[in-house]
């Protein structure tokens, strides 16, 4: 029974993946990222799935644990394609991600406590104990080498291929989360808490530069390990929830030795939304410029405001995409960026998390599009960080419909 369920889902997935609409989405992705936009791309990610199963389509029916993992993948992807398709592209194969690691910085325990729990842990506030106060603490942070479990990867590949490889292609692909995003200060925030981190940027700049240096060196080592173990994915369709298919990366010459130049790098410093451009430059960008230099293209940003720091970001020579959040001045950002980079526009997820106001949603999306159009920007729109729909998943469905109506009129 489990096998029949998975084969049926795989067939439905393959029909969509091989369809003209999916192929058209790939063209739109590449145009946006190549700064030759046809129209804006719209996607939705980081969805509160615990609220979305309004019709039972996400119920898992398989009994075997491995089969349930496969079933969950397919049911989630098929749900998105049915209810909130937007321009969400799906790969024309099932990815078997390589079981491995590019190494990591570790040695200090993250100690936190939940101080506000909204819905059973899915959305919660945390307080972190400062574990990185001294030079001695910093010495405890060490880089740990990577590995690749080829035997385990191929075992999973053969298991999945046997189930539905005759229906949907199955492919081993890179999956190194260690180097997918360089986020020094997001990690330090977990080790220290926000207040000690921000205070020491001002009061102990020498120490904080040492912290940044250690994380930068560790990340550079991880990039080398990912190349050594061939963990990179040159055709990943999204990174940080933003579309990344492009024609502007160097072609892969040897798929047994994929290089960082064949793929995207990404960096964030979300906690730096409250620091000055000069401080952002000193403690983050100058290290990111070094550590991300091997990558073909770079996407910078997540939830931090960056519209007043674009002149600093430009120091990264391979920068291609910049995140502009709901807290940024969209008009100012679009004017500064122009045609130089692609913009990852991020509407406010709060608009689907309370009483749904269609006029407010439409106004925000039109404002984004108008600012970009006025400055001839290439951009995509991704609704993400959706902690809740207030128990009304139809909010998300309606947002998707309005967003697509807006970009179709672009």
CA pair distance 305, 270, nearest whole angstrom: 8
The pLDDT profile of the chain, 410 residues, written as one tens digit per residue, is 999 999 999 999 999 999 999 999 999 999 999 999 999 999 999 999 999 998 899 999 999 999 999 999 999 999 999 999 999 999 999 999 999 999 999 999 998 877 766 655 566 788 889 999 999 999 999 999 999 999 999 999 999 999 999 999 999 999 766 688 999 999 999 999 999 999 999 999 999 999 999 999 999 999 999 999 999 999 889 998 999 999 999 999 999 999 999 999 999 999 999 899 999 999 999 999 999 999 999 999 999 999 999 999 999 999 999 999 999 999 999 999 999 999 999 999 999 988 899 999 999 999 999 999 999 999 999 999 999 999 999 999 999 999 999 999 88
CA pair distance 318, 124, nearest whole angstrom: 36
Q: What is the pLDDT of residue 137?
A: 97
Region for 378 from its dihedrals, namely left if φ exceeds 0, alpha if ψ lies in -120 to 50, beta otherwise: beta
Distances, alpha carbon 178 to alpha carbons 111, 112, 249, 285, in Å: 21, 22, 21, 19
Q: What is the pLDDT of residue 86?
A: 98
CA pair distance 16, 134, nearest whole angstrom: 54
Cross-strand pairs, 342: 321, 378
Asked whether the beta carbons of 101 and 140 are under 8 A apart, the reply is no
Q: What is the set of domains in the chain, with CATH numbers?
A: 2-408 (3.20.20.210)
Closest CA to 71 of 79, 313, 331, 263: 79
Q: What is the pLDDT of residue 112?
A: 80
SS (HEC) of the chain:
CHHHHHHHHHHHHHHHHCCHHHHHHHHHHHHHHCCCCCCCEEEECCCCHHHCCCCCCCCCCCCCHHHHHHHHHHHHHHHHHHHCCCCCCCCCCEEEECCEECCEEECCCCCEEEEEECCCCCCEEEEECCCCCCHHHHHHCEEECCEECHHHHHHHHHHHHHHHCCCCCEEEECCCHHHHCECHHHHHHHHHCHHHHHHHHHHCHHHHHHHHHHHHHHHHHHHHHHHHCCCCCCCCCEECCEECCCCCCCCCCCCCCCCHHHCEEEECCHHHHHCCHHHHHHHHHHHHHHHCCCCCEEEECCCCCCCCCHHHHCCCCCEEEEEECCCCCHHHHHHHHCCCCEEEECCCHHHHCCCCCHHHHHHHHHHHHHHHHHCCCEEEEEECCCCCCCCCCHHHHHHHHHHHHHHHCC
Q: What is the pLDDT of residue 113?
A: 78
């Amino acid at each position: 029974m489990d096998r029949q369920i998975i084969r049926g889902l795989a067939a439905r997935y393959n029909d969509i993946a091989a369809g003209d609409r999916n192929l058209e989405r790939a063209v739109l992705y590449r145009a946006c990222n190549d700064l030759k936009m046809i129209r804006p791309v719209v996607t939705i990610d980081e969805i509160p799935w615990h609220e979305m199963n309004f019709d039972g389509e996400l119920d898992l029916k398989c009994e075997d644990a491995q089969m349930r993992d496969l079933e969950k993948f397919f049911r989630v992807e098929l749900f998105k394609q049915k209810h909130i398709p937007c321009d969400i592209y799906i790969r024309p194969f099932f990815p078997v991600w390589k079981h491995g690691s590019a190494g990591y910085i570790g040695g200090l325990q993250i100690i936190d406590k939940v101080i506000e729990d909204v819905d059973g842990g899915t959305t919660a506030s945390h307080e972190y104990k400062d574990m990185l106060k001294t030079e001695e603490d910093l010495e405890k942070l060490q880089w740990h080498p990577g590995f690749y479990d080829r035997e385990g990867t191929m075992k999973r590949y053969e298991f999945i291929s046997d189930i539905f490889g005759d229906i949907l292609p199955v492919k081993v692909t890179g999956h190194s989360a260690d180097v997918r995003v360089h986020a020094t200060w997001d990690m330090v925030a977990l080790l220290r808490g926000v207040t000690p981190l921000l205070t020491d940027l001002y009061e102990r700049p020498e120490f904080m530069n040492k912290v940044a240096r250690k994380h930068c060196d560790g990340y550079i080592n991880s990039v080398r390990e990912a190349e050594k173990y061939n963990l990179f994915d040159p055709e990943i369709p999204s990174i940080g929830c933003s579309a990344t298919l492009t024609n502007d990366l160097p072609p892969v010459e040897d798929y047994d030795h994929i290089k960082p130049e064949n793929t995207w790098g990404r960096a964030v410093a979300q906690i730096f939304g409250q620091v000055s451009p000069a401080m952002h430059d000193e403690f983050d960008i100058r290290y990111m410029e070094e550590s991300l230099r091997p990558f073909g293209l770079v996407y910078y940003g997540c939830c931090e405001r960056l519209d007043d720091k674009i002149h600093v970001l430009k120091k990264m020579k391979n920068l291609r995409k910049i995140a502009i959040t709901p807290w940024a001045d969209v008009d100012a950002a679009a004017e500064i960026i122009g045609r130089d980079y692609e913009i990852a526009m991020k509407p406010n997820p709060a608009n689907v998390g309370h009483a749904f106001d269609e006029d407010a949603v439409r106004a925000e999306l039109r404002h984004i599009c108008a600012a970009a159009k006025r400055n001839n920007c290439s951009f995509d729109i991704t609704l993400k960080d959706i902690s809740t729909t207030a128990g009304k998943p139809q909010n998300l469905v309606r947002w998707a419909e309005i967003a697509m109506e807006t970009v179709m009129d672009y």
